[in-house]
A and B are shown apart, each in its own frame.
Chain A
Amino acid sequence: MPPLLTLSGISKRFDSGTLAIGRLDLEVAAHEFLSLVGPSGCGKSTALRIIAGLLKPDAGTVAFPNGKPEMGFVFQEPTLMPWQRALGNARLPLDLKGVARSEGDDRAARALKRVGLSGFEKAFPRELSGGMKMRVSIARAIAAEPKLLLMDEPFAALDELTRQALNDDLLKLKEEDALTVLFVTHSVYESTYLSSRVVVMTPRPGRVAAEVALAPPPARDENWRLTPDFTQQAARVSAALRQAMVAA
């Protein structure tokens, strides 16, 4: 089965002269949960933006062998429109695609319900907590029923309990919608908990330093985080990250 996405020889230098990505080769299989980890400034977010078509690479190609899938994007910040209620924010991609208002409302309300925000449709972002705002952001990303979900450190600013709850919700959404998730994070533990594969990047200019295949249990919960199995898998990711830093 061909991969969902292939990056071949991607490099990117910003106008400031900073070489963000040296040469990046990466394949992402359909339905996998792939985490990109690496030190700050190694080009993880840049790679995500290139895949989304928001940045043009200087060299290399982004290919979707099965055709370009519907994509959703979740940023580190919730990035909501403060003048729109939660429902209006979740409905944004549907509005832009010309979906009829009533159908858009229904689908956005369903997306909000799936992220646990039923009853908050009429709330403005400023009336919501940080975790709830991030849930609206995820609802917006899934409202248009994407096949590929790109997430750029979405839970980095949240407290640990909220972060763990959102990790579990994300896994559930991934299973229900058969999503492919490309997840950027700094956290070894988060990447271990969520992913079936972790790609470790070198410090700038970013390229792939190592790939760590993980074997998470079919059903994950907080108890798994306390097991030796989880610790061992996290240790492998951590060792790969440390090695990438030393090698650089």
Chain B
Amino acid sequence: MADKEPEYRQDGTPDPEASPATAESPPESEEQPEGSGGLSIVGALREALSGKTPLSAEESGAEPEGTDGGPPDEPEAAAEPAAAEKGGWFRRKFALRQSLRVQIAAGLGAAIVFTLIASIIALVAFFQVGRIQREINTEHVPALTNAVQIGQLATSLAAAAPRLVAEARNRQLATDPETEVAPDDSVPQLDLLESAARIIELSSELGAGERTAGLREFSEALAGNLRDIQVSVESGVVLQERLGQLQEATVVRSRELNELIVPLLDDQVFYMATGLRELGDDPAPLEVRGAEVEVMYQQALSAVDARGNLAGSLIADVVVQDDLELVETLEERFRAATAGTFRALDTIGDRAPRQLRETLDAIYELGLAQDGAFPVRREYLAELRNQLGYLARNESITDSLEVAVGTLTVGLEQEALAATEQSEAALNLGRSLLVALNVLGISSAALILWLFVGRFLIARLTALSRAMRRMAGGDLETRIEVRGQDEVGEMAQALEVFRKHALEVQRLNLVEELATRVEAQNEELAKTLEDLEKAQDQMVMQEKLASLGQLTAGIAHEIKNPLNFVNNFADISNELLEDLKEELETVKENVPEESLAEIEDISGDLSGNLERIVHHGKRASSIVYGMLEHARKEGGERRPTEINAMLEEYIALAFHSMRAVDSRFQMTIQKDFSDDVGAVEAVPQDLSRVFLNIVTNACQATFEKQLAEDSDPNYQPELEVTSRKENGEIEVRIKDNGPGIPEEHLKKIFEPFFTTKDTDKGTGLGLSLCHDIVRGHGGTLAVNSEVGNGAEFVITLPTSSSGGAEAGS
């Protein structure tokens, strides 16, 4: 990187004093407030990365654009400075600092300004509406309320008057004292006047003016009228009461009259008919009782009775008479009637009881006194007529009042309506302004959001994060192309630097890794070479062995026959000797003892010598046999062979064989066979030979140790045989506690003809054969031993049939 740096600087023409932003001005970016790297966190990062001074950090910040790990983008580098120059002048001119803080502040600020403007407008609109509402509340509404109240009062006033009158009427018509008059009807008269006063009050509240003048005038007139009605009604009531009294009095007086007159008449008629006044009287003669004076008396009494009753009934009539004209008529008749009674009274003279005169006078007074029935009734009727007049006046005033109220109400309504409309308009204006501003505010906020935050800020941040993720994912190749003069841009620059460094580092690592791998491979190669050499040696040896084997096989084959002869003849000879011995027995008595002893000695020696011949012959056979076996190629059929069973059998065989040879031999045999060992595809004869061989070796070794001169008396030969199945392999371990095998022998133990036994005890092919057999089955045969610690043979066999390594022949 350090190499490339000066290269780039030559290509570009950045002014060292200019901010790093010049090299990177993105043509698309709208906002160009510049920021220096020195203050930002990103700058510090870069510092740490490159370990350079702030100045050089700026310079290196210019790099990422140009460096790519490959050839620098020259055309781009050429174009950018040109654009940068223009932008640089602009920015320099206004000395604007480009940073995220400023950008966000500017964006929010714009939004806030819009909100403020909207609020101010709303406030203004509300003030306006409030003003109008206040106007409505303080002026129009009370005025309307007043008008409504006036209307109500006027209506009640108008209704009251006729009601008043009607009630009074009812009272008059009802002569029955038990008719109950609603008590509250007399009271409203006061309320009505109050209502009228209230109307005046309310209209003055509405202010002077034509409308209200009319209201006042009518209200006053109405009030005056009502007062008149009230007075009239009251006087009517009084008169009515008086009439009632008169009527009651008349009833009493009429009864009085009757009770006076009727007996008098009754007596008089009786007297005129019978001449008797008292019970004890003598009857008066006809001319006395029929005299004119009696007749006149009787007639006068009748007249008083009739006229008096008539007068009474006339009073009763007039009391309820509604027609003023008829009242006149009745009065006339009353006058006539009462005149009649008085005339009759005169006729009766002093025969009349005083009471009678009093009663008749009273009746007269009841009718015609100043407060008598007739004047009172007339007066009452006049009052009624007045009331009618008042009512009529009431109606007309009411009409006018209603009209005035209506006009007033209408006017007020109109004013209120106008004010309401104004307020509506203001509200609407305010509302629409608010809506517009809201729309404007929201759309500008959205614009800001989309342009600045979205495209400018978020997009770049997203790009940056994507780039980081790419880098984290391992892609260090792709250049980071995030533009901007603000913190985000700086972050991008820093990231680019980082990327380049990381790239370098990555490459270095790669190289290192390769070197290491190469080294490792070399080592492996060396080892392989070693192995190969070993194998080669082994091959050579095996070749040698093979050829040797072939040789020995040939020899063995050739020797086999002669050996057979030897063995056979030896056997025959032995048999012959036996025959001789037998013959000797038969002639034993005939033979001198010295000769017998001599014969026995000689036969004994012969026997012994033959035995030795046989023995050695057999030995030689077995060697030949062993050698042939050794050379024999792998043959025999493979069959599934139960390992554990085989072990059992051949361990026992080995043991008993040993005991057969020397019955002193004892061995503790520990068997631990796993049940899951099962069967293996193997040539049973071969495999059994292996087991037999190894176990036999163990027996022999341990027996030797036991028999050795310096052996431990407590020493007992022990054999431990285990079989396991593990990882698809059968593992058989045959361990003994014999003397062990020295290390230098361990290596050669499986070599053919290697043996530590005496020449007549083994051929040295046993283990080699075993080794080959096992290998031929695809398994392995190994031995672990330490001197003094016994030996352990480990046989592993694959459970699946495998060719395994071909047994070397």
Same assembly: no
Q: Measuring CB to CB, which residues of chain B are less than 8 angstroms from any residue of chain A?
A: none
